[in-house]
Amino acid sequence: MTAALIFEQVLNGLQFGLTLFLMAAGLTLVFGVMGLINLAHGSLYMVGAFCCAWITQQTGSFWLGLGGGVLGAAAAGALIEMLVIRRLYDRDHLDQVLATFALILIFSEGTRMVFGSMPLYLNIPAALGGTMALPGVEAYPVYRLFIILAALAVALLLYLLISKTRLGMRIRAGESDREMIAALGVDIKTLYTIVFALGAAIAGLSGALVGALRSVQVGMGEPVLILAFVVIVIGGIGSIKGALIGSILIGLVDTLGRIFLPVILKFFMENASANSIGAALSSMLIYLMMAGILAVKPKGLFNATN
Amino acid sequence: MKKLVSAGVAALLCCTAGVAQAEVKIGMITTLSGGGSTLGIDVRDGFELALKQAGASDVKLLVEDDARKPDVAKKLADKFIQKDKVDILTGIIWSNLAMAVVPAATRKGTLYISPNAGPSALAGKACHENYFNVAWQNDNLHEAMGSHANKADYKKTFILAPNYPAGTDALKGFKRMYKGELAGELFTKLGQDDYAAEIAQIRASGADSVFFFLPGGMGIAFMKQYAQSGVDVPVMGPAFSFSQDILPAIGDAALGVANSSQWGKDIESEVNAKFVKGFKEAYGRLPSLYASQGYDAANLILSAMEKADVSDKDDFRAALKEADFASVRGDFKFGNNNHPIQDIYVREVVKEDGQITNKIIGVAIKGHQDAYASKCRMK
Amino acid sequence: MQRTDTAPKSINMPKLSRETVVNIAVMAILLALPLWASSIGEDYYVNLASLITIFAIAGVGLNFAIGQGGMVSFGHAAFFGIGGYTTGIAAFHSFEETLFMAIPFAISGTNQMLIIWIVAMVICGIAALAIGAISLRTEGVYFIMITLAFAQMIYYFAISWPTYGGEDGLSIYLRNELPMVDAESALTFFLVCFILLLGAIFVSARLSGSRFGAALGTARMNETRLATSGIDPFPIKLTGFVISAMITGLAGALFAELNGFVGPSMLSWHRSGEIMVFVILGGVGRLYGPVIGAALFVLLETYIGEWTQHWQLLLGLALLGVVLFARGGVMGMIAGRARHD
């Protein structure tokens, strides 16, 4: 195990974490502003990927597909916000969990009815194919670097949006006192629809971007959803900064644990059991970490709300 | 009372039509919704195609969706056995669902014909006279790949699979045949979809080949990421990651990959040609190996119906065991444990008329039987 | 998160309220149908009723945590699964005639259900004590998510732990035994489950009506009020969580017997969601709510599944309809609101 390989794995962990951030950002935004747990966030991720794959297939352009994925997810988000989610803001978390759990079933089966059961083809654009040399790494896929940059850009834009724009000001005001800004004449209903659609758009963006690297199929959102929840809970729900740090933490722990736990265990036991026990432990690692963090900081690392 | 009536009907049928056959009721439990539903749909379509082509009017097929959940599969099995009183069960795709259903069902005297899953327990110690596997024992295709690796003169293979029983069995199966040394061995997380770290390990290991077993979406993700990683070590795997239902989703990234399968659409035989053509006409897509297994399962049952009455379990079992049907894969017979003894081919992923598909390039193992047969007490 | 309502009134009401009538009717139907089905030799429906009963027990367990203690656990599948695995592992060692452990003292398997139930509940209780001790430091969404995380942890462990089958799970070849009765008989097994369901409801009702239940209810509504009256809320909630887990664990043990099989799918987060669905469909905090919820869920799953491949879509729509338009669940719709929330 050379230093270069360790460095490359750290980079991989970082990249994996940032893909998680794309997913977690929308989730934590929606929770922070509206206090809503949205299990169907993974479905919006899936909608983004499917729209992107379908449009790319029809037009031959990945970039059009990417745009379509973002818009499609935003539209789906706005639609369910107006039909369903809106009625859930003043309900307790239990109702929110169940209603959005039901939305997962509806989205999954609906997508299957429209697109069929087969996974769709979606590949990265040729311009971003291939690898490039990085300091210490001889060949790193260009597209993965692109995802790193895209995630950082989303983080920056969200930061600017929330802290510098009028919409952001309203969002922050809505977070701290819903009644007050309604009394001040802000159309809170529309504001919430916009915020939810924004969260959905980010989920759609990550579905399209990451879908090109993984497989576009029904149910693709669920494993990512659970990881994203772990991320935002560790980071502190509602905090974009927390989501960023939480996702990098999870990405690093998961990736490095997966690779290095078996190696470390080999000092203590024979190869075969080190491999399987290492793999078993590493799949539990992030949940252990989450439990550990919450035991010490019950509201996550960067708690944004009270 | 009910039994009396149906026996009466059977007696009537036998004397009027002159065929010693009551209607055979088959219950198919398979995955038609959610993840992995393409496999179940292909098995069902292949099965139905065989029935249609044979014009089998004395077969009643009941199909239900297990949603890939063991307890749902178990509930459906109970329903088919207790309420619908089926003679034969079939259709299960996944080993964990098979393990939930098969031991109990076969003990209660229901015949089970497996069109896909072949967990090692059911081939060895827990084998049963009512259980027939018309696909393969789980390790078979991996063993074939191990033998192919020897022939291709690979000396340093990197192997990886998810950390669950089918995954550990896959690597065990590969190693059973493979003679070279391992460049590395990794277990991934079940359902994992980012393989950057594993690919970096492969690159660093200096391997001369990679063997992987990552079914479904995991395989799609791995192949896409592998193709753009710049690692140019040849890849091989069992057919599950290169079957016709997912090949289009991997795209060009799969081209040139060697994979093992007991069936290929280019096997030259009358029955295979009829199957492939019929499947394309009926469903408008190319058949996968799962469809071929469903097709064979139906034809096996039909062949037994020619020889024996399903109400005489001993006769019918014996007729099934003879496997006197034309399999789309060519030679086929059952070993002592009711699992296939068959040739396993190596296929290569190619592009034909713009469509990505498989072409047989050779035989990996001839007349292969699974490694658990000796643990089965049946003769 | 915190509800500002009073404890369920249904429990100690002397005169027959509408809810009581519904409760009696539901239980009577649940008892009568399998008796009738068994008399005409349709064991399938008897087993379906057993399934409903078992899910109802799991729901009664979770309902105690949510309805009484306000602890929205999204990880009750962990206890359901632990109960199931206890059964599976005990039966496995009994069948193979091997020891579960030899050090520090020898523990062998058993095929006696009564012993297995007690062991399953004790193990679930210990697990809940550990999980609860950490999780109850948090509240709200954090609590939901940390219970989910613990269940996921156990799920991944079960998948990758080869001794007991990993993802393939464990078959229980012969149903375990009960003294004096034949548990292999579908009807007998149903009756056993039914009695245990009554037992679970009884325990839940008695506890809710006790001083402990009052304290737990106060902890749900206003922890500070409880604390100022000199009772530390933490041990009260932890005890409630443990009891809830033990009831759900018993359901898991029965589920394993019914299916003759245990596997990691018992531990998956979908299962946690389903148990939650039983509670909410029936009506949170309603003593007999989970029975209605479980019955509806099983019937929907079974019969829409027969009708169309796209049954999950319809199931989703049905669930959504209940949450949006039938607040208080089905029980709330039929019997009116018992709780003022």
Tell me whether residue C4 is in a domain.
no
Neighbours of C35 (CB within 10 A): 13
Q: C-alpha distances in angstroms, C142 versus A93, A99, A116, A121, C251?
A: 11, 19, 37, 37, 26
Mean pLDDT of chain B: 89
> What is the mean pLDDT of the segment spanning B321-334?
93
* Residue B264: pLDDT band with limits 50, 70, 90: very high
Q: Cβ A280–C319 below 8 Å, yes or no?
A: no
Tell me whether residue A250 is in a domain.
yes
Q: Say which residue, B163 or B171, is predicted with more confidence.
A: B171
Q: Measured between alpha carbons, how far is A69 from C304 in angstroms, rounded to an integer?
A: 32
User: What is the total count of domains within chain A?
Assistant: 1
User: Which pLDDT belongs to residue B17?
Assistant: 40
Tell me whether residue C268 is in a domain.
yes
pTM score > 0.95 for this model? no
Interstrand relation of C170-171 and C261-262 (parallel, antiparallel or unpaired): antiparallel
Q: Measured between alpha carbons, how far is A62 from A68 in angstroms, rounded to an integer?
A: 10
> What is the mean pLDDT of the segment spanning B30-47?
88
Q: Cβ B230–A141 below 8 Å, yes or no?
A: yes
Contact (Cβ atoms closer than 8 angstroms) between residue C188 and residue C257: no
Q: Measured between alpha carbons, how far is A138 from B118 in angstroms, rounded to an integer?
A: 43
For A148-180, give one letter per residue: b (16+ CB within 10 A) or e. Answer: bebbeebbeebeeebeeeeeeebbebbbeebee
Residue A61 neighbours by CB under 8 Å, 6+ apart: none
Tell me whether residue A304 is in a domain.
no
Mapped to the 3 state alphabet, what secondary structure does B87-153 carry? CEEECCCCHHHHHHHHHHHHHCCCEEEECCCCCHHHHCCCCCCCEEECCCCCCHHHHHHHHHHHHCC
* Residue B77: pLDDT band with limits 50, 70, 90: very high
* Residue B5: pLDDT band with limits 50, 70, 90: very low
> What is the mean pLDDT of the segment spanning A94-112?
91
User: Which pLDDT belongs to residue B14?
Assistant: 42
Q: What is the pLDDT of residues B93-134, one digit of tens each?
A: 998 899 999 998 998 899 999 999 899 889 998 899 999 999
User: Which pLDDT belongs to residue B317?
Assistant: 93
Structural domain harbouring A141: 8-296
What angle is formed at CA B206 by the lines to CA B205 and CA B207, rounded to 5 degrees?
A: 90
Tokens representing residue C222 in the block = 């206003």
User: Which pLDDT belongs to residue C323?
Assistant: 87
Tell me whether residue A38 is in a domain.
yes
Q: What is the pLDDT of residues B234-257, one digit of tens each?
A: 999 999 989 998 898 898 889 999
Tell me, what's the ipTM? 0.87
Q: Say which residue, C205 or C17, is predicted with more confidence.
A: C205
User: What is the total count of domains within chain C?
Assistant: 1
* Residue C104: pLDDT band with limits 50, 70, 90: low
DSSP for A255-287, written as a single string: HHHHHHHHHHHTTTS-HHHHHHHHHHHHHHHHH
User: Which pLDDT belongs to residue A54?
Assistant: 95
What angle is formed at CA A158 by the lines to CA A156 and CA A160, rounded to 5 degrees?
A: 70
Of C313, B35, C277, C305, nearest to A106 by C-alpha is C313
Tokens representing residue C291 in the block = 């029975």
User: Which pLDDT belongs to residue B4?
Assistant: 44
* Residue A281: pLDDT band with limits 50, 70, 90: confident
Structural domain harbouring C147: 18-335
Backbone angles phi, psi at C227, to 5 degrees: -65, -40
* Residue C159: pLDDT band with limits 50, 70, 90: confident
> What is the mean pLDDT of the segment spanning C121-137?
94
Provide the residue count of chain C: 341
Neighbours of C185 (CB within 10 A): 15
Tell me whether residue A140 is in a domain.
yes
**Strand pairing partners for B174?**
none
Q: Measured between alpha carbons, how far is B141 from B164 in angstroms, rounded to an integer?
A: 17
Tell me whether residue A265 is in a domain.
yes
Q: Measured between alpha carbons, how far is A55 from A63 in angstroms, rounded to an integer?
A: 9
User: Which pLDDT belongs to residue A304?
Assistant: 56
> What is the mean pLDDT of the segment spanning A100-104?
92
B204 contacts on A by Cβ (under 8 Å): 2, 5
DSSP for B15-81, written as a single string: HHH----PPEEEEEEE--SSTTHHHHHHHHHHHHHHHHHHT--SEEEEEEE-TT-HHHHHHHHHIII
Instruction: Catalogue all structural domains in chain B, each as residue range(s) with its CATH number.
Output: 2-137+267-341 (3.40.50.2300), 140-264+344-373 (3.40.50.2300)
Question: At A183, which CATH number?
Answer: 1.10.3470
Mean pLDDT lowest for which of A302-306, B289-293, B345-349? A302-306
Neighbours of B367 (CB within 10 A): 11
In the block, tokens 């799920």 appear at C155
Mean pLDDT lowest for which of C14-23, C237-246, C294-303? C14-23
Q: Does A278 touch chain B (CB under 8 A)?
A: yes
The percent of residues above 90 in pLDDT, for chain A, comes to 40
Q: Cβ A230–C146 below 8 Å, yes or no?
A: no
* Residue B19: pLDDT band with limits 50, 70, 90: very low
Q: What is the pLDDT of residues B181-227, one digit of tens each?
A: 999 999 888 888 899 999 999 998 999 999 999 988 888 999 999 98
- List chains touching A (3+ CB pairs under 8 A): B, C
> What is the mean pLDDT of the segment spanning C133-139?
89
Q: Cβ B249–A118 below 8 Å, yes or no?
A: yes
Q: Measured between alpha carbons, how far is C227 from B247 in angstroms, rounded to an integer?
A: 62
Q: Cβ C310–A226 below 8 Å, yes or no?
A: no
Q: Which residue of B has its CA nearest to A283?
A: B189
C48 contacts on B by Cβ (under 8 Å): 75
* Residue C12: pLDDT band with limits 50, 70, 90: low
Q: Measured between alpha carbons, how far is C166 from C85 in angstroms, rounded to an integer?
A: 11
Greatest Cα pair distance in chain C: 60
Tokens representing residue A89 in the block = 């803001």
> What is the mean pLDDT of the segment spanning C8-13?
50
Residue A79 neighbours by CB under 8 Å, 6+ apart: none
Tokens representing residue B25 in the block = 């009721």
User: Which pLDDT belongs to residue C50?
Assistant: 95
Q: Which residue of A has its CA nearest to B222?
A: A214
pLDDT above 90: residue C117: yes
* Residue B15: pLDDT band with limits 50, 70, 90: very low
User: Which pLDDT belongs to residue C338?
Assistant: 55
Question: At C42, which CATH number?
Answer: 1.10.3470
- Nearest residue, CB atoms, C261 vs list B74, B79, B164: B74
Contact (Cβ atoms closer than 8 angstroms) between residue C100 and residue C109: yes
Tell me whether residue A157 is in a domain.
yes
